[in-house]
Amino acid sequence: MWSVWEETRRIIGDREADLHISDLSALVDKMWSSTFIDEVGYLAYDAHAADLLFQVVSRRYEQKSIVITTNLAFKQWDTVFPNAACAVALIDRLTHHAEIISIDGESYRKREAEQAQKRKQEQKPKR
| Per-domain residue ranges of the chain | 4-123
Q: Give percent of the chain with pLDDT exceeding 90.
A: 12
| CA 19/CA 23 separation, integer angstroms | 6
Q: What are the residues whose beta carbons fall under 8 Å from the beta carbon of 4, sequence distance 6 or more? A: 28, 32, 35, 36, 37, 56
**For the domain 4-123, what is the CATH code?**
3.40.50.300
Write out pLDDT tens, residues 98-108. 899 888 888 88
Report the candidate in 80, 60, 49, 9 with the shortest Cα–Cα distance to residue 88: 80
Q: How far is the C-alpha of 55 from the C-alpha of 66, rounded, in Å? A: 13
